[in-house]
Amino acid sequence: MWDDPDKAQKILKERGRLKGMLDDCATLARDYQDACTLLALALEATDEGERREAQHQLSVVARRAERLRLQALLGEEEDGNDCYLELHAGAGGTESQDWAAMLLRMYSRWCDSRSFQPETLSATYGEEAGIKSLTLKVRGAYAYGWLKQEGGVHRLVRISPFDSNARRHTSFCSVGIYPVLEESAHEDIDSKDLRVDTYRSSGAGGQHVNTTDSAVRVTHLPSGIVVQCQSDRSQHRNRATAFAMLQSQLYARAKANQRAESEAARQKSPIGWGQQIRSYVLQPYRLVKDLRTGLEVGDAQGVLDGNIDPFLEAALATLRQKPVEDKSWRLA
CATH number of the domain bearing residue 232: 3.30.70.1660
Looking at the structure, do residues 89 and 68 belong to the same domain, yes or no?
no
What order do you get walking across the sheet with 276-281 strand by strand? 117-125, 131-139, 83-89, 168-179, 152-159, 276-281, 287-290, 296-297
Residue 238 to residue 224: CA distance in whole angstroms: 20
Q: Containing domain of residue 44, as a range?
A: 5-72
Looking at the structure, do residues 16 and 131 belong to the same domain, yes or no?
no
pLDDT per position as a tens digit, 185-198: 556 677 888 888 88
Looking at the structure, do residues 31 and 120 belong to the same domain, yes or no?
no
Looking at the structure, do residues 293 and 150 belong to the same domain, yes or no?
yes
Residues across the chain: 332
Mean of the pLDDT values across residues 144-154? 92
> Residue 209: pLDDT above 50?
no
Contact 314, 293 (CB under 8 A): yes
Residue 165 to residue 171: CA distance in whole angstroms: 17
What is the number of structural domains in the chain?
A: 2
Pairing type for strands 152-159 and 225-229 reads unpaired
Query: Domain end: 72, 107, 131, which one?
Result: 72
Looking at the structure, do residues 135 and 14 belong to the same domain, yes or no?
no
Mean of the pLDDT values across residues 260-286? 67
193, 219, 83: which is closest to 145 by C-alpha?
A: 83
pLDDT per position as a tens digit, 30-68: 999 999 999 999 998 888 889 999 999 999 999 889 888
Stronger pLDDT, 109 or 318, i.e. the higher one: 109
Q: At 95, which amino acid appears?
A: E
State the pLDDT confidence band at 91, using cuts at 50, 70 and 90.
confident
Q: For 183, how many CA atoms within 13 A lie in the half-sphere containing its CB?
A: 5
DSSP readout, 18-87? Answer: HHHHHHHHHHHHHHHHHHHHHHHHHHHHT-HHHHHHHHHHHHHHHHHHHHHHHHHT--STTTTS-EEEEE
Residue 331, pLDDT score: 33
Residue 319, pLDDT score: 66
Angle at 163 between CA 157 and CA 167, to 5 degrees: 50
Looking at the structure, do residues 178 and 67 belong to the same domain, yes or no?
no
What's the predicted TM-score (pTM) here?
A: 0.74
Residue 100, pLDDT score: 95
Contact 153, 277 (CB under 8 A): yes
Contact 198, 213 (CB under 8 A): yes
> Residue 260: pLDDT above 70?
no
Residue 273, pLDDT score: 53
Residue 289 to residue 298: CA distance in whole angstroms: 9
Looking at the structure, do residues 299 and 231 belong to the same domain, yes or no?
yes
* % of the chain residues with pLDDT over 90: 41
State the pLDDT confidence band at 204, using cuts at 50, 70 and 90.
very low
Looking at the structure, do residues 48 and 178 belong to the same domain, yes or no?
no
> Residue 265: pLDDT above 90?
no
Query: Domain end: 20, 40, 72, which one?
Result: 72
Looking at the structure, do residues 52 and 100 belong to the same domain, yes or no?
no
What order do you get walking across the sheet with 215-220 strand by strand? 194-199, 215-220, 225-229
**Radius of gyration of the chain from its Cα atoms, rounded to whole angstroms:** 22
Residue 154 to residue 148: CA distance in whole angstroms: 14
Looking at the structure, do residues 45 and 148 belong to the same domain, yes or no?
no
Contact 68, 28 (CB under 8 A): yes
Looking at the structure, do residues 196 and 66 belong to the same domain, yes or no?
no
Query: Domain end: 72, 90, 113, which one?
Result: 72
Contact 235, 213 (CB under 8 A): yes
State the pLDDT confidence band at 181, using cuts at 50, 70 and 90.
confident
52, 57, 15: which is closest to 32 by C-alpha?
A: 57
103, 126, 256: which is closest to 173 by C-alpha?
A: 103
Query: 8-17, 132-141, 218-227: which range is least confident on average?
Result: 8-17
Looking at the structure, do residues 169 and 100 belong to the same domain, yes or no?
yes
Mean of the pLDDT values across residues 321-326? 46
